[in-house]
Amino acid sequence: MGGELDPVEAARAWAAQDPDEVTRAQLEALLARVDAGDPDARAEVGTRFAGRLSFGTAGLRGELGAGPLRMNRVLVAQAAAGLAAYLLSREAHPSVVIGYDGRLGSEVFARDTAELMAGAGVRAILLPRLLPTPVLAFAVRELGTSAGVMVTASHNPATDNGYKVYLGGPDHGSQIVPPADAQIEAEIVRVASGSIAELPRSADYELATEEVVDAYVRRTAALAPHPHPLRVVYTAMHGVGWETAHRVFTAAGFTDIVSVAPQQDPDPAFPTVDFPNPEEPGAMDLAFATATAAGAELVIANDPDADRVAVGVPDGAGGWRRLSGNEVGWLLGWRAVRRHAAENTDHGTLACSLVSSPALGVVARKEGLDFAETLTGFKWISRVGDLVYGYEEALGYLVDPDKVRDKDGISAAVAVLALFSELKADGVAFREHEAAFADRYGAFASGQISIRVSELARIPELMARLRAHPPTEVGGIRVERIDDFAGGFGAFPPSDILRIWLAGGSRVIVRPSGTEPKLKCYLDTRSDEGTVAERQAAADAALAALDAGMRGLLSGEDHF
State the DSSP code for 197: G
CA gap 82, 76 in Å, rounded: 10
Instruction: Report the chain's terminal Cα–Cα distance, integer Å.
Output: 39
State the chain's maximal CA–CA distance in angstroms: 75
Contact residues for 194 (Cβ-Cβ < 8 A; gap 6+): none
State the DSSP code for 536: H
Q: Which of 426, 441, 456 is the last residue of a domain?
A: 441
CA gap 107, 109 in Å, rounded: 5
Angle at 322 between CA 316 and CA 328, to 5 degrees: 110
Q: Which of 386, 418, 441 is the last residue of a domain?
A: 441
Domain count, the chain: 3
Angle at 435 between CA 433 and CA 437, to 5 degrees: 75
Q: Indicate if 367 and 448 belong to the same structural domain.
A: no
Q: Indicate if 372 and 461 belong to the same structural domain.
A: no
Determine, yes or no, domain membership for 167: yes
The phi and psi torsions of 144 (rounded to 5 degrees) equal 65, 40
The per-residue pLDDT string of the chain (560 residues; one tens digit each, 9 = 90 and over) reads 444 578 999 999 999 999 999 999 999 999 999 999 999 999 999 999 999 998 765 689 999 999 999 999 999 999 999 999 999 999 999 999 999 999 999 999 999 999 999 999 999 999 999 999 999 999 999 999 999 999 999 999 999 999 999 999 999 999 999 999 999 999 999 999 999 999 999 999 999 999 999 999 999 999 998 899 999 999 999 999 999 999 999 999 999 999 999 999 999 999 999 999 999 999 999 999 999 999 999 999 999 999 999 999 999 899 999 999 999 999 999 999 999 988 877 789 999 999 999 999 999 999 999 999 999 899 999 999 999 999 999 999 999 999 999 999 999 999 999 999 999 999 999 999 999 999 999 999 999 998 888 777 888 989 999 999 999 999 999 999 999 999 999 889 999 999 999 999 999 999 988 666 789 999 999 999 999 999 999 999 999 999 999 999 887 543 34
Q: Indicate if 527 and 381 belong to the same structural domain.
A: no
The phi and psi torsions of 449 (rounded to 5 degrees) equal -120, 130
Write out the H or E segment, with its range, that includes residue 78. helix 73-90
- Strands (DSSP E) contained in 291-382 are 298-302, 309-314, 320-322, 349-353, 370-374
Beta strands 123-126; 160-167: pairing state: unpaired
Q: Indicate if 434 and 343 belong to the same structural domain.
A: yes
pLDDT of residue 292: 98
The DSSP-derived string for 17-68 is H---HHHHHHHHHHHHHHHTT-HHHHHHHHHHHSS-----SSEEEEEBSSST
Strand partners for 389: 350
State the DSSP code for 64: B
Write out the H or E segment, with its range, that includes residue 150. strand 147-151
46 alpha carbon, distance to own chain's centre: 30
Could you check whether the bond before residue 179 is cis, i.e. omega within 30 degrees of 0?
yes
Amino acid at site 357 = S
Angle at 454 between CA 449 and CA 456, to 5 degrees: 85
Beta strands 507-512; 518-527: pairing state: antiparallel
Burial class (CB in 10 A: 0-12, 13-18, 19+), 158: buried
- Strands (DSSP E) contained in 179-332 are 206-207, 232-235, 257-259, 298-302, 309-314, 320-322
CATH number at residue 522: 3.30.310.50
Determine, yes or no, domain membership for 560: no
Q: Indicate if 59 and 137 belong to the same structural domain.
A: yes
- Count of all residues that appear for the chain in the document: 560
Strand partners for 322: 312
The phi and psi torsions of 513 (rounded to 5 degrees) equal -65, 145
Determine, yes or no, domain membership for 526: yes
Q: Which of 381, 406, 441 is the last residue of a domain?
A: 441
154 carries an active-site annotation? yes
The phi and psi torsions of 522 (rounded to 5 degrees) equal -105, 125
Q: Indicate if 245 and 182 belong to the same structural domain.
A: no
Nearest Cα to Cα of residue 95 among 160, 35, 146: 146
Dihedral over Cα of 3, 5, 11, 17: its sign: negative
Q: Indicate if 151 and 176 belong to the same structural domain.
A: yes
CA gap 174, 85 in Å, rounded: 19
Residue 41 CA: distances (Å) to CA of 29, 67, 259, 266, 419: 9, 14, 46, 34, 56
Determine, yes or no, domain membership for 214: no
Write out the H or E segment, with its range, that includes residue 10. helix 7-17
Strand partners for 464: none
Q: Quickly count: other Cβ atoms within 10 Å of residue 547's Cβ.
A: 18
- Three-state DSSP at 552 gives helix
- Give me the catalytic one of 106, 154, 353, 506: 154
Q: Indicate if 121 and 134 belong to the same structural domain.
A: yes
CA gap 503, 526 in Å, rounded: 10
Q: Indicate if 259 and 179 belong to the same structural domain.
A: no
CATH number at residue 95: 3.40.120.10
Domain that holds residue 66: 7-195
Nearest Cα to Cα of residue 250 among 232, 236, 262, 235: 232
Nearest Cα to Cα of residue 185 among 85, 110, 112, 114: 85
Amino acid at site 109 = F
Q: Indicate if 61 and 142 belong to the same structural domain.
A: yes
Determine, yes or no, domain membership for 84: yes
Determine, yes or no, domain membership for 70: yes
Q: Indicate if 278 and 186 belong to the same structural domain.
A: no
Q: What is the dihedral of CA 227, 228, 230, 234, to 10 degrees?
A: 0
Beta strands 349-353; 387-392: pairing state: parallel
Determine, yes or no, domain membership for 207: no
Q: Quickly count: other Cβ atoms within 10 Å of residue 450's Cβ.
A: 12
Write out the H or E segment, with its range, that includes residue 416. helix 409-425
Q: Indicate if 238 and 374 belong to the same structural domain.
A: yes
pLDDT of residue 59: 84
Q: What is the pTM of this model?
A: 0.94
Determine, yes or no, domain membership for 200: no
pLDDT of residue 557: 44
Note whether 30 and 11 are within 8 A (CB). Answer: yes
pLDDT of residue 241: 98
CA gap 354, 449 in Å, rounded: 16
CA gap 548, 308 in Å, rounded: 30
